[in-house]
Amino acid sequence: MLTEIETEVAIAGAGPTGLMLAFELALAGVDTLVLEKLPRRIEQVKGGAIQPRTAELLELRGLVEPLRARATTRDPVGGHFAMLPVPLDCTPWRTRHPYPIVIPQWVIEEVLEERAVARGARILRDTEVTAVEPGDGMNAGEPGEPCTVTSGGAGVTVTAGGFRVRARYLVGCDGARSTVRKLLGLPFPGRPGTYLAVLTDIRLSAASSLVPERIGHISGLTRQANGYWSMLAPIGGDRYRFTFGREDQTDLTRDTPVGEEEIAAALRALYGEETVLSGVDNSSRFTDATRQLECYRAGRVLFAGDAAHIHPPLGGQGLNLGVQDAINLGWKLAATVQGRAPDGLLDTYDTERHPVGTQVLHHTSAQRVLADPRPSEDVAALRDIFVDLLRLPDTNRHLAGLMSGLSLGYDLPGGHPVAGRRVPDADLVTDAGPTRLSALFGAGQAVLLDLAGIVPADIRLASRIDLVHAKCTEDLGAAALLFRPDGYPCWAADDSATCRATLPAAITEHLSPLP
């Protein structure tokens, strides 16, 4: 007998993407239930770097400091493109977070879960999704065939563990092998992997001089020797994150268990006999497959993170792409569930985030060529040229913005050049005293920022919009800006006449109908 549960939104998967989405929804007051198949969190480093733009977005919700407090010590050095030995410089992008934050994925999950539960989200572990009934809004068809949206639908029913969950929406955040995606028969087009590698968290009882002592630039953590390639990163005490592969591919599959002797042999081949393995905390295999859903929404079922897109693990993109998916989706789904969203708002999740995922798949594919541990003579020459280009400030700035996410913007209607673009976290002075732009978004609401007193006193605002009057010594590109809850401006004006004429329509189009 299944226990019946009702919720507004069900989320499959309690990884960083699912937990970030749970926090965003709970912050907006949406009843949220997370279904996780694992009985407990795996303490695995895995996706272990928070990129600068993700850090900025997490700061909007007051989440950066609790994460930074538990981060791994790292040299203040920029990220990389294709593991080439030139650090990417994010300082020209005017960010307070110019360097990646190195932190184990399980710590990120722990912090996000704590905050989500504190806001009212529920998490059921040891609860694997086994069936999805998408309601009358979607026809799942046969496995492997695309589903079709036929109407709005009344909801989604999910069978998971001993529960039958009825939800208004379901979001699949259940990883590259997404059960939700497979149950609905959604195609996952792309390219299979070209190699099979191992990711493992290990402990060493002895280390040779070849073993890195600190986390610096990635080019100082990589090594090739005796038919192996690797990255070895110290994460505290005797613990290391070890990634390795062999130049000659074997007949192993992703599901083949990783044995201690396999890991020990790789360590000896790469770092010498003096490097001694004392324990393995966890291990798994991965590939460089590249795939993406054709659409991130199928009726009342949506997808985020690796369930929607996978790519080669280069440049620390995966975790960040998923968390940013969740931040983009959270406020839109909350507004839809609560009946205050303009028509089509939820569809903008796919129209905005799908191109971002495509871009990441594109540049990680390029990096895969440049980072090939077995480069041809032509690829070696290309790498030399690329290193020279990376030393040019304009090239470095472009790729730094791409890899960090700081250059990301959305094409939003409205005509003002600021609309849809990232705005740096500026210092502000309000009637209550000095603050920062990021501090205005802690409640997860939209913000109308008036920097020049041009917003009319009698202007009507929709619910969940905070009006803030402030002074700023920096040029933010406009006299007044209307920010979405995810920190991107959806409207801006330079004078009071334009403000009065266009602000009401912008609120109605982007956020919520006016009362």
Residue 94 lies in a domain: no
Same domain, 11 and 125: yes
Q: Does residue 463 share a domain with residue 317?
A: no
Same domain, 234 and 173: no
Q: How far apart are CA 465 and CA 256, in angstroms?
A: 52
Question: Each residue's pLDDT tens digit in the chain (515 positions)?
Answer: 899 999 999 999 999 999 999 999 999 999 999 999 999 998 877 777 999 999 999 999 999 999 999 999 889 999 999 999 999 999 999 999 999 999 999 999 999 999 999 999 999 999 999 999 997 544 433 333 434 443 345 799 999 999 999 999 999 999 999 999 999 999 999 999 888 999 999 999 999 999 999 999 999 999 999 999 999 999 889 999 999 999 876 778 888 999 999 999 999 999 999 999 999 999 999 999 999 999 999 999 999 999 999 999 988 899 999 999 999 999 999 999 999 999 999 999 999 999 999 999 999 999 999 998 888 999 999 999 999 999 999 999 999 999 999 999 999 987 799 999 999 999 999 999 999 999 999 999 999 999 999 999 999 999 899 999 999 999 999 999 999 999 999 999 999 999 999 999 999 999 999 88
Contacts by 496-499, CB closer than 8 A, 24 or more apart = 496/454, 496/455, 496/456, 499/454, 499/455, 499/456, 499/459
CATH number at residue 279: 3.30.70.2450
Q: Is position 120 within any domain? A: yes
Whether residue 332 is found in the same domain as residue 261: no
Q: Residue 502 maps to which CATH number? A: 3.40.30.120
Q: Which distant-in-sequence residues (6+ apart) come within 8 Å of 394 by Cβ?
A: none
Closest to 441 in 3D by CA, of 30, 59, 45: 59
207 in a domain, yes or no?
yes
Please, which residues have CB within 8 angstroms of residue 426's CB and are 6 or more apart in sequence? 436, 437, 472, 474, 476
How are beta strands 3-12 and 163-172 bridged, if at all? Answer: parallel
Residues 162 and 265 in one domain: no
Number of domains in the chain: 3
Residue written as token pair 């036929």: 150
Whether residue 318 sits in one domain with residue 246: no
> Which of 327, 352, 368 is the last residue in one of the domains?
368
Please report which helix (H) or strand (E) contains residue 45, including its range: none
Establish if 66 belongs to a structural domain.
no
Contact of 182 with 23, CB cutoff 8 Å: no
Last residue of a domain, one of 287, 314, 331: 287
Nearest partner of 270 among 244, 234, 308, judged by Cα? 244
**SS3 (DSSP) at 348:** helix
Q: Which domain holds residue 267?
A: 196-287
| Boundary-marking domain end, from 287, 321, 356 | 287
**211 with 237, same domain?**
yes
Q: What is the CATH number of the domain that holds 299?
A: 3.50.50.60
316 and 49 Cβ atoms separated by less than 8 Å: yes
